[in-house]
Amino acid sequence: MKSLAENRPLDFSCLTSREVEALLLLASGEQNRRLARHLGIAERTIRAHTASIVRKLRLKSRFEAAIVTHLHADDIRQLETTRRSAA
C-alpha cells in the first residue's frame, strides 16, 4: 500500500494560516469542541476549516488529514514560519 505522500504531492500553501493551525491541531485527535476552544473560535468554524482542509488537499476524511499532518508536520510548520516572517 502506498503512502499518501507517494500517491501525489500535497500543496499546503493553498491553506490559510488559520487552516494550517487547525490542521496541526487535528493530529492531536481531540474533538472539535476542544480544538475550537484552543483556537478561540466556534465549533462550527473548526468544522468549516476541517472540511476546507480535506477539500483543498483532496483527502477523504478528517482522519486522513490527521495522518497527513503526522507525516508532514515539519513541512507544515515551516510553511507557517515562512508566512509569519514574510508578514
Q: Which residues have CB under 8 Å from 19's CB, separation 6+?
A: 49, 52, 53, 56
Q: How far apart are CA 73 and CA 27, in angstroms?
A: 9
In this model, does residue 72 exceed pLDDT 60?
yes
Q: How many CB atoms neighbour CB 76 within 10 A?
A: 20
Q: What mean pLDDT do residues 14-26 have?
A: 94
In this model, does residue 56 exceed pLDDT 90?
yes
pTM: 0.85
In this model, does residue 5 exceed pLDDT 80?
no
Q: What mean pLDDT do residues 65-82 have?
A: 91
Cell numbers at 58, concatenated: 483532496
Domains of the chain: 15-86 (1.10.10.10)
Task: Note the pLDDT of residue 86.
Answer: 85
Q: How far apart are CA 23 and CA 10, in angstroms?
A: 13
